Amino acid sequence: MQFRRIDDANAQGSIKGKRALVRVDFNVPMQDGRITDDTRLRAALPTIEALRKQGAKVVLLAHFGRPKGKRDLTQSLGPIAEPLSELIGAPVKFVSDCVGESAAQAIASAPEGGVILLENTRFHAGEEKNDPELAKQMAALGDLYVNDAFSAAHRAHASTEGIARLLPAYAGRSMQAELEHLDKALGTPVRPVLAVVGGAKVSTKIDLLQNLVGKVDMLAVGGGMANTFLFAKGLEVGKSLCERDLADTARAIMAAAEKSGCKILLPGDVVVAQKFEANAPHQHVRAAHVAGEDLILDAGPESVHALNAAMESAKTLIWNGPLGAFETPPFERATLDAARHAASLAQAGKLTAVAGGGDTVAALNMAGVTEKFSFVSTAGGAFLEWMEGKELPGVAALAAK
């Protein structure tokens, strides 16, 4: 997909003195009124700096929490202004609404390159309903719109989709990086493409699996969802997490994969225990030799070796979900070993490795390889919907016309 970037905005005429409405993701973790992780603030800095450098007034729009369309000061963006100001190295003016006269006056009085943070967009019921009137009121505060919040791009909200239809709209630096890397992973990838999909349940990733088998060359299934596939192939899975009622769905996915020429990789060996608890007594068995009392809690070393070999034969890797119960030692081993191998291939320039999803990011952090992957998306739901092949409203609104 061709989309407009903030560099295009300046190319089409100076944005010096213009009001740039920038949708960011400042839904950061807070405790006792203080930010505990400022990753999302830092992600917005390249866009903010680029616009400031060009002399634009930077007007930040964001949501925080779930105030359900009502003003709830426990979910105010106010506490974010000072930490953001420290990161930028310049004052950040906070305004207690995201529409109306107070916001308009603050923006009008701001200097070129000034930064204004508006209040939580979800304090207005029309935000999540994509109310045209609210979008119109927001748009009245700006001359151009920049979306730098890929993580909210799967929602057709007033601040993510509605405004983009009313003003010249562009992708910010973070959004641009996300879209370019995702296109490399699934849009126009270098083949062969290997997808690794793990996690607990097939039921949460049916659309994802159905989409991937038609697009990738190899699909490795791990985590609890692999048990459902093993069961569908007639294997004993003991007392493991398994959605037996989805066996037909798993068989249909495997049949679709065979038809499209996608090779499915399932664990050939597994790590089992009698109890799901930290450091429980465990053993390594063939996937065909799981006993009735066993819990499958991780992929075995032979399965990791096979996955690593698949990575070595691939040119592009896209990863979503762990291979086992990685939060509980020692059942993190397969996920961490495979992640480190992928990172080493990416660092050597042999593999474009793209990953995303909350559990995936946590596992890569645990493995110490997040910075070594080609790209790691923190977008969660938007990343998953993109992998499912769904159109993201906030992205579609940025399409070059």
Q: Read off the pLDDT of residues 265-301 as tens digits, 9 standing for 90 and up.
A: 999 999 999 999 999 999 999 999 999 999 999 999 9
Please say if 292 is a catalytic residue. no
Please say if 381 is a catalytic residue. yes
Q: What's the mean pLDDT in 303-320? A: 98
Q: Read off the pLDDT of residues 212-250 as tens digits, 9 standing for 90 and up.
A: 999 999 999 999 999 999 999 999 999 999 999 999 999
Q: What's the mean pLDDT in 364-384? A: 92
Query: Looking at residue 380, what is its pLDDT?
Result: 81
Helices of type H across 130-191: 132-139, 173-182
Is residue 381 very low, low, confident or very high in pLDDT (cuts 50, 70, 90)?
A: confident
Is residue 32 very low, low, confident or very high in pLDDT (cuts 50, 70, 90)?
A: confident
Query: Looking at residue 401, what is its pLDDT?
Result: 57
Whether the per-residue pLDDT at 318 is higher than 70: the answer is yes
Q: Is the peptide bond before 83 cis (omega within 30 degrees of 0)?
A: no
Of residues 20 and 359, the one with the higher pLDDT is 20
What is the dihedral angle through the alpha carbons of 400, 320, 153, 14, rounded to the nearest 10 degrees? -50
How far apart, in whole angstroms, are the C-alpha atoms of residue 23 and residue 239?
46
Of 201, 239, 315, 340, which is the active-site residue?
Answer: 201
Encoding tokens for residue 401?
Answer: 């016309």
Percent share of the chain, pLDDT over 90:
89
Is residue 400 very low, low, confident or very high in pLDDT (cuts 50, 70, 90)?
A: low
Q: Is the CB of residue 307 less than 8 Å from the CB of residue 220?
A: yes
Is residue 202 very low, low, confident or very high in pLDDT (cuts 50, 70, 90)?
A: very high
Q: Is the CB of residue 10 less than 8 Å from the CB of residue 4?
A: no
Range name among 28-32, 91-95, 169-173, 298-302 with the lowest pLDDT average = 28-32
Please say if 358 is a catalytic residue. yes
Query: Looking at residue 1, what is its pLDDT?
Result: 64
Whether the per-residue pLDDT at 362 is higher than 80: the answer is yes
Query: Looking at residue 340, what is its pLDDT?
Result: 98
Q: Read off the pLDDT of residues 49-105 as tens digits, 9 standing for 90 and up.
A: 999 999 999 999 999 999 999 999 999 999 999 999 999 999 999 999 999 999 999
Q: Read off the pLDDT of residues 320-357 as tens digits, 9 standing for 90 and up.
A: 999 999 999 999 999 999 999 999 999 999 999 999 98
Phi-psi region at 317: left, alpha or beta (left = phi > 0; alpha = psi -120 to 50): beta
How far apart, in whole angstroms, are the C-alpha atoms of residue 185 and residue 315?
10
Of 55, 78, 238, 381, which is the active-site residue?
Answer: 381
Q: Is the CB of residue 6 less than 8 Å from the CB of residue 58?
A: no
Global pTM value: 0.89
Phi-psi region at 261: left, alpha or beta (left = phi > 0; alpha = psi -120 to 50): left
The label of the residue with tokens 């779930």 reads 66
Question: What secondary structure does DSSP assign to 33-81, as a single string?
Answer: TEES--HHHHHHHHHHHHHHHTT-EEEEE---S--TTS--GGG-SGGGH
Q: Is the CB of residue 342 less than 8 Å from the CB of residue 373?
A: yes
Strand order in the sheet with 169-171: 92-95, 115-118, 57-61, 19-23, 144-147, 169-171
Please say if 162 is a catalytic residue. no
Look up residue 382 and give its DSSP letter.
Answer: H
Of 40, 155, 205, 215, which is the active-site residue?
Answer: 40
Backbone angles phi, psi at 233, to 5 degrees: -90, 5
How far apart, in whole angstroms, are the C-alpha atoms of residue 334 and residue 363?
11
What is the dihedral angle through the alpha carbons of 53, 55, 57, 63, rounded to the nearest 10 degrees? -20
Domains of the chain listed by start with CATH number: 6-174 (3.40.50.1260), 189-387 (3.40.50.1260)
Q: What's the mean pLDDT in 129-142? A: 98
